[in-house]
Amino acid sequence: MSCGTPPAPPASGNCATDPVRLTTVECAICWPGDFETTIDKPSLNRYFKKYKADGTEYSSMGPKFAAKILAPVKTGSAITVEVRFKAVAATGVTAADVTAAKTKMENGVSTNWNGRYTLDADDPLCGKKSFRVDFKVTWVDSGGDYTLTIHDTYAREGVTGSVVDVSKATSDWIYAHEFGHCVGLPDEYSYVSGSTETVKYIKPDGTLDVAVTAPFDGKSPTAPDATIMAAVDNTTRLRRHGWNVAIEVQELLTFRLGRVIKCTVK
C-alpha cells in the first residue's frame, strides 16, 4: 500500500474528512523510518547447521556475522551490510603491502558480493517493498568488527573469531571467500580427510533448506554444484548465501515496526 495523494473528502455530511485522515494514518505506519543495527552473532544454528559424515550435528564452530546493517526502508533503495576492518601488518609487511591488501579486499567484495541480491520485505499492512543489497568494506583504526592481519606468508587464509589472517599473495577471490565467513557463511566442505559432511542452510522462515554436500577440501571449481563457499575460484552465489542478511533485516524490521515482517532474497 503506497502513500499517494489523499482522495478528496466528501463535500458534506458526517465524517466528511475521514478519507483524508485514514490515508494519513496509513502513511504514518507504512515504512515510517530508516533503521540500523549492529550485530555480532554466532552463525551456527542461526544461518546454517552442519553435520558430520555420520549425521551427528556440530554443536559449536565458526564463523560469526559481525557488521552494521543499514535499512533505509523509508528513504532509500538499498540495504547496506557494512563490515569494519582494522588492517594490521605482521613482520615483513610494508605500508604498500597493506594498501594492496585493502584494494584486493575491496575488489573481491565489490566483484563477488556487492549488488548481487535483491531483498523483498513483506509487510502485512503495507505490502511488499524491494531493496538492493550492498556490501561495504570500511577501514578503521580501532573498534572494527574484524582485524585483518596481513602476513608476509601464510599457509592457508582463514577467519578465527574476529581475526582474518591473509598473506601478501592472497588473491581477490580468497578475500571474497573469507568475507563470506565474516558475514556468517560456512565452508561448504569438510576439514576431515576422506569425509563428506553436509550443510543445511536456514531459510528466513526458519525452515531448513535441502542438504548441501561438503566433501573434504572442497569441490572442483567446474562441478555443477560448486559455489564461492565450496570451490577455489568459483564465483557462484546462490539465494542461500543471502538468507543471513534477510534473517537479520527481518528481525530488525519486525522489532522496529512492531509486527511480523517477512523477508527473503532473490
* Alpha-helical runs (H) found in the chain: 18-29, 95-112, 172-182, 243-257
Q: What is the pLDDT of residue 29?
A: 85
- Comparing C-alpha atoms, which of 187, 87, 61, 81 is closest to residue 146? 87
pLDDT digits (tens, 9 = 90+) for 192-210: 999 999 999 999 999 999 9
Q: What is the pLDDT of residue 27?
A: 61
Confidence band of 6 (pLDDT split at 50, 70, 90): very low
Average pLDDT over residues 128-142: 97
63: cis peptide before it, omega within 30°?
yes
pLDDT digits (tens, 9 = 90+) for 216-260: 999 999 999 999 999 999 999 999 999 999 999 999 999 999 999
How far apart CA 24 and CA 9 sit, in angstroms, is 13
Average pLDDT over residues 105-114: 97
pLDDT digits (tens, 9 = 90+) for 46-95: 999 999 999 999 998 889 999 999 999 999 999 999 999 999 999 999 99
- Written as nine digits, the cell of 65 is 556475522
Confidence band of 144 (pLDDT split at 50, 70, 90): very high
Confidence band of 183 (pLDDT split at 50, 70, 90): very high
- Written as nine digits, the cell of 239 is 539465494
Q: How many C-beta atoms surround the C-beta of residue 142 within 10 A?
A: 6
- Comparing C-alpha atoms, which of 199, 247, 238 is closest to residue 39? 247
Compute the residue count for the chain.
Answer: 266
Are residues 179 and 111 in contact, defined by beta-carbon separation less than 8 angstroms? no
Cα(first)–Cα(last) distance of the chain, in Å?
Answer: 22
Are residues 62 and 116 in contact, defined by beta-carbon separation less than 8 angstroms? no
Mean per-residue pLDDT over the chain, rounded: 92
